[in-house]
Amino acid sequence: MARARVNGADLHYEVVGEGEPLVLVHGSWVDHETWRRVVPRLAQSFRVLVYDRRGHSRSACPPGRGSRRQDEDDLASLIELLGPPAHVAGSSFGASTALGLASRRPELLRTLTAHEPPLMDVVDDEDRELRLLMQAMEAALDRVLAALRAGEDRAGAQRFVDDVAVGPGGWEQVPERVRETFAANASTFADEMADPDWSHIDLAGLRDYQGPALLTFGSESPPWFPVIVGKLATALGRARMRTLEEDGHVPHLTHPDRYADSLAAFIHSSDRPPAG
């Protein structure tokens, strides 16, 4: 366990294994522990860094409103700590963070893997059916934020799991330790949602990243994720799209060995020169 002072925040991080650097970026509500089922397997091939994003669990929450750009800058600093370029894999908001950094500092990333980034702004308004579904999701998010503003952190976390991320009954399947983490990080989630650019990505800037990219979505996930992933794949020059069968928003938790093996295989295949 270690701490790094970056961009005005003290971040908790851990490094395990030997080999090329691989940074795993977690999503909202959780912390580095969300990767614990995949780290041992990945550490057989890589020097894996996991960390708590600013405002999450053991990392500090500096005063003032935060932004995803700050998270991107933190990620850049941690990559520089390891020695760039690094392989980077992110999930959900962590995937948005990784993509945002790739659009601004493409030289820091050796490969990019992103699972279901919630970059809603890339969905066209013309897709009316999808927009209606997204509006229902946004209404559910508003109810989550209303609970958080009222100081009902645990109730807000439950609404997020049951109404947005997983589905009815999802909260009952979450271990108590994880529920406590959700409640502890609830204020940071509210802060993330207050960032006007939380769901935006510079698609033109993303074209500057020319490295290998793997963009994934689960077969059991909401229908806007394939659309988002498709838009991002079009912007990226060397992107592969992949559907993770029988998975949803957290494949590193539902099928950890398969997720780790798939990530490692992608990275190793990216190191090989193209055939012919």
Report all structural domains of the chain as residue ranges with CATH numbers, in order of start: 2-123+197-271 (3.40.50.1820), 128-194 (no CATH)
pLDDT band at 50 (very low <50, low <70, confident <90, very high): very high
68 pLDDT more than 90? yes
**Which pLDDT band holds residue 63 (cuts at 50, 70, 90)?**
confident
- Summary mean pLDDT of the chain: 92
Inform me whether the pLDDT recorded for 244 exceeds 90.
yes
Q: Tokens at residue 172, please?
A: 């009952």
Q: Cα dist. 201→95, 123, 171, 198, 204 in Å?
A: 11, 11, 30, 8, 9
Give pLDDT tens digits for 134-186: 888 899 999 999 999 999 999 999 999 998 887 888 899 888 999 999 999 99
- Over residues 29-47, the mean pLDDT reads 97
Name residue 190's amino acid. Answer: A
Whether residue 275 is predicted with pLDDT greater than 50 in this model: the reply is no
Note the pLDDT tens digit of each residue in 99-113. 999 999 999 999 999
* pLDDT tens figures, 198-214: 999 999 999 999 999 99
pLDDT of residue 21 exceeding 70? yes
> Are the C-beta atoms of 5 and 48 separated by less than 8 Å?
no
DSSP 109-177: EEEEEEE----GGGS-TT-HHHHHHHHHHHHHHHHHHHHHHTT-HHHHHHHHIIIIIS-TTTGGGS-HH
pLDDT tens digit string along 129-138? 888 888 888 9
Residue 218 in tokens: 């689960």
Lowest mean pLDDT among 6-10, 90-94, 114-118, 125-129: 125-129
276, pLDDT greater than 60: no
Quick check: 252 pLDDT over 80? yes
Q: What is the pLDDT of residue 273?
A: 45
What confidence score (pLDDT) does residue 159 get? 95
pLDDT tens readout for residues 262-272: 999 999 998 75
